[in-house]
Every structure is written in C-alpha cells, then in structure tokens.
Chains A and B, each alone.
Chain A
C-alpha cells in the first residue's frame, strides 16, 4: 500500500514538472454543486457506507469507517459547505493525506505527525471519471467567501456548468482544524465541545 502511495507521488511529481494538457478527475456531488478531485489523489472509492459518528468531534468530521484494517477518519464535505446532513447513505472517497498543493513551512510540521495517513471524504454521490483540459480551469473568484476559498482550488468551465476542483491536501482534517474556520457547524449544538477541545 505504501509502495503504491510512493508510486503515485512519483507520478505526481512528474506531473508537476511537465504539466499535462489534460487532467482526469473523479467527479462527485454534494448538495447541488459538482466537484472533482484528481484521480491520482484518490486511493479508493468506498461506495455507500454507514459511518460511525464520533461524539464531541469537530463538526466537519463525518465519522469513522473501517478501511483495510485501519480506522479511517472521514471529513463530511456537506458540513464543510455548511449544508445539512445528507438524508441517505453517503459515499466515501479515500484520499491521500500527503503532498498537498499549497505546502507551506507550517504544513510540513503539521504533516510530521500524520504523514502517510489517508483520510475519507464523505460526499453525496460519486459520479465518474471526467477528462478535462487544463485550459478551461479558472481560479477562485475574489468574491468567494473565506470558507470556500480555503476549500476550493478553482473551477473548470464545463459545457454543462462548473466543476469545482478540490485539492485533497486542503481537505486534510489536520489542516481544517488548523484554519479554525470549521470548528463550529452552522447552527450545530456541538459548538461548546468543539471550542473546549480547541482550548485543550
């Protein structure tokens, strides 16, 4: 498993050096919007799973799922967007928790503790793999609110609407906790505990 991760990383680095014209993205939906993540960064799509909730966890944590003998912490994308929880069973994407796109000196330190750890992303439904041209990628608009700015990595102007690009590195639970923007769910009652664990 680690080896595949390394290979992917190598592929990634190679990709970074000579940007290819086309990208292959895995598309999924949350709420009404469509999102895409680079297929290289996805380890596995777990399909519909029932998640075990974790009491007192920050609001953006959807729960935990068993994954290859480990316990996978899963981020609820709906919670990040400030949407109410999904009515049905959510699908889970397993993402790599390393090599983020916006690595700063601080990130390096953060990663030390959680390096090579993967995490899950809980979404409404997984679409399919789409190949898009790099040229149709637009940067985040300046008017985007603070929360969304920390999550989105630009958008592709698809013929049938926008496909928002996400960077798994930006969705890492450790990073989300660090920004302090997602501690409190919108109107959720768990706020107090979140704040407390923040203090601790």
Chain B
C-alpha cells in the first residue's frame, strides 16, 4: 500500500472517531451548528480524497451521507433519533470499507459489500420520508459494529501523534547527550571537570527522560471517546436510559498504559450499563430520575492516575454476592461470618463470579471483573470497588503514570537490596535497638507495633523471604531496625528491614516467568552501583504475610465527622501541659491547640528568653514575641541551665470573625505529642473555664484563646450533635 493511501486511512479513521463523538453529542443538542459542521467536514474530507484515490464505493456512500448532512446543516431537517441512527450506520459502513481497504488494499467487490440498503436509507432520511425500513437495518448492523471498531482501534494503536516541538526538544537533548559523552570519553576520572560532566550527564538524562515520557503521555479522553456511542447502543439494547459524563479528560497517561486499561474500562462501562443502572421503571420506583448517569472521572493522585467509574444504579447487594459465592463454592459458611463488607465486595473479582440473574448478550457470563482486575494489576495498578445499596457503585482503577520508571526506596534485608515503590510507602520509623523490646507487642504469634496508638502488623522481610541468618542478626543487631509503613489496597503494615539505602528512580525490568511465579516481586532493576535489586510487590507481600485489609479506619471515620460537623471538629496539636504538681510527673494533662492556630514549632535555648515587666519575651524573626508560659515550664527548664532547649509553639491568635488573624504569641510547652483529629465538646461540658475536646477518645484540654471565631460562635452551638 502506498504512503498516500496509508495516510488517507489513518486520517479518515481519525475523522470518523471524531464524527462518532460528535454524533452522540448531537443527540442531546440537535441544533448545534458547530457539531454539524464538524461531522459534515469529516464526511466531506473522505469524499474528496476518495474521489482522488479512486475508491468509488467509498465515494458514493460518502456522497449520500453528505447529502443528508447538508440538509441537516441548512436546517431543512432536524436531527432526530432515526437520523442519528442512520448516520451512525453510515459511519460504520465507511469504517468497514476503510477497514477492508487496509486489510485487502481494495474496497471490496463481493456481493456482501453492497451498500444499496444503506444508501436507500440515507436517501430516505434526506427526503424526510417514512423511515420504516430502519428497524431491520439496526439489527443487521450491530454485530458487525463491535468487530469493526475493534479492528479500527488496532490500526490506530500502532501510530502516535507527537508535537513537533517535543520531537525537536528530544533531538536537542540527544545532541547534548552526545556532546557530553564526547567530553566524558576525553576526560579521566581524576580530571577536575569530571564531577561537572557527571552532573551534566545526569541533568541531560533526566530532561530527556522527561521529554520522552511527555511524548508518550496521551490524554485519557482518547479512551473515553468511544464510550458515548457504546453506552447509547447498549442502553437501547437493555431498554434503559443512560447518560455518560466525563471529567478530567485531559489527564495524561502513558500510551502503553492507556492501551492496557482500555479493555478493562470498556468492560466495566458495559457492566455499569447492564448491571449497574436499573430500568427506567425501577428507577422511578426508587425515586430516582429515569435516566441513569455514569460518570467517568480521571485524575492524578500521588504519582498514579485514578480512573473512577461511578454509576447511580442499584449498587451491589451484599447478601446476593455472599449467596452466589457460597453457591459457587468460592467461600465457606465459616468464612462468611468473619467477612467484612469490603472483603465481600472483593469476591466479585474472583474468577467465575457473576451475580447477574440472567445471562444477556452484553454481560453476565461470569467472565469479567476478574479479568478487569487481572489486567489492571498486570500493569502495576489496583482496583477498588465501593458500593452502596440503592445509591450506586464506584469502581476505582489506579494505574501508575508510567510503567518503565518508578521512584522507589532501596532497602536492605539479609544482605540483599530490595526496592519498595514509593507509592506504597506511607512513612518510615526508626526503632533503636534498646526500644525494640518495648516497641513490639505480641498477640499470639503476631507481632505488632504501636504507631501513634494504632497497632500495626509487623512483617520481617528477611523472615518472609527465608533469607539466611535472621536469628543471628536478631542477636547481633546493634543499630536497631527500620520500619517501613506500607499501604496497599487498604492493607497497612510495617515491613522491617535492616537498613535504608537511598531513594532512587528505578527502571523496571520484567522478570522471567519462573521468577514471576514466586509472586512477591514485580520486577528487578539495576541500581546505581551496578548490582541488581528485586522490586517488592507490596500487595502480594501483604497477602503472603497474611495482613488483611483494615476493618474500618478510625481516621476515616474521624474525617467523615469533620466533614459533617464542620467547625466543631478539626485537627489539633496535642502537647503535654502541666497541672499542679506536674513536676513530679503526676497529673499530667493532655493539652491541645487547634492546628490551624499553630504556625511553627521552635526549639529555643532558655537563655534567649528575655523578661520585661515580668513578662517573658522572645526575639523572633525581628519581632518581639510575648511568651505564654504553661504552668511554670519555663522556670523548670531554666533551672537546668540556660542552654536547655525549650519547645515554643509559635501561634497566632484568631482575630474577630472575618478580620485578619491577630497577634502572634509564643507558647512554651513541655513536649509536643501528636497531631490528630478530634471533636470539640459542648460548652456545657466545660470544666473550670477550660474547653474540652475528645481527641483519639481521650479527654484533652483545649487551650482557650486560640479557638477560632467560628468555633466560639454561639449560633453554631445548636447544630452541634453528640460527640463522636
């Protein structure tokens, strides 16, 4: 096939894709001239070029379509459902012929390649005549449709449009890379400019990587483009009314990942239409609008792209899922009792599971969700399912921005290096050797670590991987342990490693089948020092170690409370205040300040505190800061010498409602304990003029004077409900 034809095919298919999007949009805005113009142009371009290339059949069909579109554009006809269906059939017809040209080189001369019916239909529509013959045509066109679109997509996958600007930048960077290489080849390790060259190489490589990644980034919207049509057709077959809405279509995603999530997403959308959204009758009974809405949202979140599919359908019925799972023997009766709702929803992803009462042509054959999950996980992503009966279902797919390069933390365990993907890493805790005994708590065989009053299951990496010398190291270990707090699919656990090496951007290399079978490693990478390190699959590690998803995260409920209760709750900085006799350690009180009032926490030698008129003052960043001493803390500290460090919270008193924030004050406290969410208690519960709050279910005194105007506003009081 010559270049000209190839180009024509690529352009035409692209034009048809655009046309498809416009057509479905046209249905909701039948008199949008811009849309009509766009559709007309697509068909017109095809017609013009085909005449030149000599594809007669294509030309005739395009010509008929153009007639109909011309009538629409001039306002002689109004786009109704029949016309749009007709135009969609024209689209399929054109696409079919283009497809044929691509595979065979010709537009087909066989009997089956006859367009008379379609042409007659288009003519009929253009004349505004009776559209009786439409009905049989619709049925005939449908099976072809799916096949043809799939093939058309396959052709488009091989090419990628890149901004010339990006390509130029790439070339510049490659040029620079070559120059740097030349310089490096001419220099020696000991030369003075070597560090400079190395830095330059580093910078150029980083830039080049960035540019190549950018070039590979494609808007997710590309993927969404075919959904309106699909949803339209599906909804008609199922006798439902469904609208699809898109959000965040510009979100960029690596080309290869876009391909990887295409099928799972398509499947999920089909599922949502077929199983998710109810029939108009059922919806009206449930007091919902007859038309169901499917929302497709894409956005970036901490280094990954999240694609959410939200339907406002009936939701997944938990008892039904359980019943089905029992029936299929996927779980046992005993398991049912101990399962959380979250775990039950996960059953949907098991192979061979389907709750659809009837098998339809669209879905319900029991293949599906497991494939969705598998495909997403194959590219290092994860799938979550949320569902509320009667309200709807949310399917959340999380995929990494790019497959090839991920930021990771290199850790060491049992003398070997491993990579932990940064995405799963929540925090790092160092446990000194001498504290280890107290820090670890045991329940039976399970070891737990108490992290800010929450128990965290602990997993020893070396023990899990059966690396040699675990016991020996336990004996010898003098420097302590590192606890990497990892999160994956709702599981949270602490992974104990011997040492932390460095954060590195690693290039992921796939492992061979034999090693993939182990199931704990998602790949390997070559580290900066030339050695190999295995990349730990955090979700699989959690599963292997037996860590289960947390039942209900207390923090999550707290944040819900924040949202619902508004100003009454919020984040507090908790510190150790001192009541009477505090110096003896007795009657220590937990004090709290609203977090938004605290600007900084400083450590200041006591000697720097000055006094004027009996008041303690601190020179702080060119201003005089009055210090508020919590129950003689300052005096206690001063007694230990002028170099003793005092902890000072730099706070700002809230101004009157709506006004600028007030004066800065320094507050001397004994010890800062934590930051946490809490709720302020009713003012009636005040004890000796102190406001109390429940923070982490412990009584905490909130320091007066720093509560915002909202929080002390009397009018707000009546809305306050019971303390969580």
User: Taking beta carbons and an 8 Å cutoff, which residues of A are in contact with B?
Assistant: 50, 52-58, 61, 64-66, 69-71, 73, 113-114, 117, 119, 173-174, 176-177, 189-190, 193, 197, 200
Contact = CB atoms under 8 A, between A and B. Distances in A.
B512 A117 contact: yes
A174 B511 CA distance: 13
Interface in B502-559: 509-515, 517-521, 523-524, 526, 530-534
Contacts of A53: 416
B514 A73 contact: yes
B509 A52 contact: no
Contacts of A65: 532
A52 to B, nearest CB: 4
A73 B416 CA distance: 17
16 contacts: A52-B524, A53-B416, A55-B416, A57-B514, A58-B514, A64-B515, A64-B534, A66-B526, A69-B509, A71-B509, A71-B524, A113-B513, A117-B512, A174-B514, A176-B514, A177-B517
B515 A57 contact: yes
A176 B515 CA distance: 13
A55 B532 contact: no
Interface of B: 414, 416, 465-467, 509-515, 517-521, 523-524, 526, 530-534
Interface of A, helix, strand, loop or mixed by DSSP: mixed
B83 to A, nearest CB: 48
B330 to A, nearest CB: 17
B514 A55 contact: no
Contacts of B513: 113-114, 173-174
A73 B518 contact: no
Contacts of A70: 509
Contact of A190 (B466, B510, B515): B466
Contacts of A52: 416, 524, 531-534
Contact of A56 (B518, B524, B530): B518
A64 B510 CA distance: 12
Given A73-B512, A173-B514, 9 more contacts: A54-B521, A55-B416, A55-B465, A55-B520, A61-B515, A71-B523, A174-B514, A190-B466, A197-B519
Nearest to B523: A71
The 5 closest A-B pairs by CB, nearest first: A55-B465, A73-B512, A173-B514, A52-B532, A71-B509
Nearest to B531: A52
A69 B532 CA distance: 11
Contact of B467 (A50, A55, A173, A176): A55
B511 to A, nearest CB: 6
A56 B532 CA distance: 16
B363 to A, nearest CB: 28
Among A55, A66, A70, A174, max chain B CB count under 10 A is at A55
A56 B514 CA distance: 11
A197 B524 CA distance: 19
Contacts of B517: 177, 197, 200
B205 to A, nearest CB: 15
A53 B515 CA distance: 11
Among B467, B532, B533, max chain A CB count under 10 A is at B532
A96 to B, nearest CB: 14
B515 A66 contact: no
Nearest to B532: A52
A164 B710 CA distance: 87
B512 A114 contact: yes
A114 B534 CA distance: 20
Contacts of B521: 54
Nearest to A114: B513
B515 A54 contact: yes
A61 B466 contact: no
A58 B516 CA distance: 11
